[in-house]
Amino acid sequence: MELKTAYKEIHEKAYLELKLNKRKSWSSADDIEERIQFYKKAIEDNNTSKGSSVLVLGCGDGETSLALTGLGYLVNGVDISPTAIKWAKQKAINLNLGTEFNELNIVKEQFPKKTFDVIIDDHCLHCIIPGDRKGVFKKTHNSLSENGVFLMRTHCGNPPENLSIEISNTWAPKTRCQVYNGVAGRYFGSSEQIITEIKNVGLKIKHKRVFQFEDNWPMLEVIAGL
């Protein structure tokens, strides 16, 4: 059976709710800070100089993109949700930062027409379901500059043991997706499957690590390059 998804509808609804509930961001401040430290170290270890270009996939309301701009990189964040992009643009104005934010569906549309020194999967690829994933990895490969790095933080593997009944009922092990009312919203491939997807488009793995925050799905961290 072919999987159905609704990338824009799912996430637009979520951002409208976050705004309604006066939340500061999709992710918690601790989560964002921890992720930024990983991105920062990986970029520095790759000898990527300040002023280099960074593309953030699924930038949401912009927290990581804005932080990386503050560190001296030229950042372009893209996301499918118009509400998230509007929110991110407003944050950039408030902080007086020149981050570029664009509404873009990474499955259906081309990435910005240039190459990037760093491409970051900012918790976005676990939203992309199996039939659509190869195209996104291919575009990532084609948009990386020669010495560029692809940084990924993505959920993977099996559900945590203490998952609530409501969430357990959405887990479809056959497709490895969470399915809500017939619509697949998240994909949790095994870490080996995801590493193979990355290698299959010609990217070389420089680092990989699986870890787990309490009560959450395992997380795969990857650094890859051409």
Angle at 219 between CA 153 and CA 24, to 5 degrees: 65
- 79 vs 221, which CB is nearer to ligand SAM? 79
Return the range that interacts with ligand SAM (CB under 6 A); candidates 89-97, 103-111, 167-175, 210-218.
103-111
Judged by CB under 6 A, the residue of 49, 105, 169, 216 near ligand SAM is: 105
Query: Which letter does DSSP use for residue 112 in this model?
Result: P
- 47 vs 181, which CB is nearer to ligand SAM? 181
In 10 A of CB 45, how many CB atoms?
12
Backbone angles phi, psi at 174, to 5 degrees: -65, -45
Return the range that interacts with ligand SAM (CB under 6 A); candidates 21-29, 85-93, 143-151, 213-221.
21-29
Between CA 33 and CA 173 the distance in angstroms is: 32
Residues numbered 146 to 175 that lie near ligand SAM (CB under 6 A) are: none
- 129 vs 149, which CB is nearer to ligand SAM? 129
Between CA 116 and CA 130 the distance in angstroms is: 25
Judged by CB under 6 A, the residue of 55, 58, 111, 152 near ligand SAM is: 58
* Placement of tokens 């893209």 in the chain: 78
Between CA 88 and CA 99 the distance in angstroms is: 9
The DSSP annotation for 176-194 comes to TEEEETTEEEEE---HHHH
* β pairing state of 144-155 and 100-103: unpaired
Between CA 165 and CA 103 the distance in angstroms is: 35
Return the range that interacts with ligand SAM (CB under 6 A); candidates 88-96, 105-113, 172-180, 205-213.
105-113
Judged by CB under 6 A, the residue of 107, 163, 183, 210 near ligand SAM is: 107
Judged by CB under 6 A, the residue of 79, 117, 121, 221 near ligand SAM is: 79
Tell me if 28 contacts ligand SAM by CB under 6 A: no
Tell me if 54 contacts ligand SAM by CB under 6 A: no
Which pair of structure tokens corresponds to residue 88?
Answer: 């991110």
Judged by CB under 6 A, the residue of 18, 26, 76, 141 near ligand SAM is: 26
Between CA 226 and CA 116 the distance in angstroms is: 12
Tell me if 59 contacts ligand SAM by CB under 6 A: yes
Tell me if 118 contacts ligand SAM by CB under 6 A: no
- Residues lying near ligand SAM in the complex (CB under 6 A) are found at 7, 11, 25-27, 58-60, 79-81, 84, 105-107, 122-124, 127
